[in-house]
Amino acid sequence: MTAMYQTQITRALYIEVPFDVPTDYVRSALDTGSIRSSTEPLSFIEPEDFELAATQARLTYRLTVFNIKKHTRISITETRHLQWHLNFDATSGYTALHVFKDMRCMDADALDMKDFLVPREIIQETIVSLNYLYSRGERKTSKLLDQEGVHKFKQPFPDRPLLRDFRYYRARLVDVAYEFLNPPRRWRAIWKDRRSPMQF
């Protein structure tokens, strides 16, 4: 890292981060693995246009963290690594969703840096995705947002983007929407279905 980047990041760490945070925190948090340019998607399988439209049309509730917690058994797990943002934990049976919420090194100053560790478009879309999940226009979600200490966004991003508006996180958000629309059923519901005569 250049001296200029070290100075800006170090200043942010000293102001906002406890002293026990390692000095390489920012580099480890923003280590995006193989994603080195803004032209690469974050998923190998991109949803088709008809799939996007069909999924969007089925969303009768807004895809917010509050609604996800209310209507499903999906839990939100904070991750310190950007590359895991909006990824489901495969070992949890798609019931734990990783969300990168630490905006200390992804604020307006980061967006203005010419050669930041992560392409500007990915940083920008990460913030948009958080604004999408933690919509400040919804009172209950806003309360949850304040409780969890998520960064108050400074950039004028759209409040209600559609799934098709996302480029890098599109496939991951479609996965989230699919699990939201098809939540894991409890054992009691499964047992009841097995006893229902309508099944035969």
How do the pLDDT tens digits run along the chain, 200 residues long?
344 433 333 333 333 333 333 434 445 555 544 444 444 445 556 788 888 899 999 998 889 999 998 888 899 998 888 888 999 987 777 789 999 887 666 655 655 666 666 777 777 788 788 878 887 666 665 565 565 544 444 444 555 788 888 888 999 999 999 989 987 655 444 444 444 444 43
Give domain status of residue 43, yes or no: no
Digit-coded pLDDT (tens) for 59-83: 988 899 999 988 888 999 988 888 8
Q: How much is the pTM?
A: 0.64
What is the per-residue pLDDT for 110?
A: 58
The DSSP-derived string for 112-177 is: H-TT-SS-HHHHHHHHHHHHHHT-TTSHHHHHHHHHTTPPPP-S---SS--GGG-SSSHHHHHHHH
Q: How far apart are CA 200 and CA 196, in angstroms?
A: 8
Give domain status of residue 200, yes or no: no
DSSP structural state of residue 88: B
Place of tokens 């400074």: 154
What is the per-residue pLDDT for 126?
A: 83
What is the per-residue pLDDT for 160?
A: 72
Q: Letter for the amino acid at 92?
A: S
Tell me the β-bridge partners of 98. 77
Give domain status of residue 22, yes or no: yes
Q: How far apart are CA 159 and CA 25, in angstroms?
A: 30
Q: Three-class SS of residue 78?
A: strand
Q: Residue 33 contacts by C-beta under 8 Å, 6 or more apart in sequence?
A: 83
Tell me the β-bridge partners of 97. 76, 88
Digit-coded pLDDT (tens) for 15-35: 333 333 343 444 555 554 444
Give domain status of residue 56, yes or no: yes
Give domain status of residue 44, yes or no: no
What is the per-residue pLDDT for 196?
A: 46
Give domain status of residue 199, yes or no: no
Range of the domain at 61: 3-35+50-194
Give domain status of residue 29, yes or no: yes
Phi, psi of 157, deg, nearest 5: -80, 155
Give the pair of three-digit tokens for residue 101: 């919420």
Give domain status of residue 45, yes or no: no
Residues, the chain, total? 200
Q: Residue 47 contacts by C-beta under 8 Å, 6 or more apart in sequence?
A: 55, 170, 171, 174
Give the pair of three-digit tokens for residue 124: 């920008």
Q: How far apart are CA 21 and CA 177, in angstroms?
A: 34
What is the per-residue pLDDT for 194?
A: 47
Domain total in the chain: 1
Tell me the β-bridge partners of 78. 99
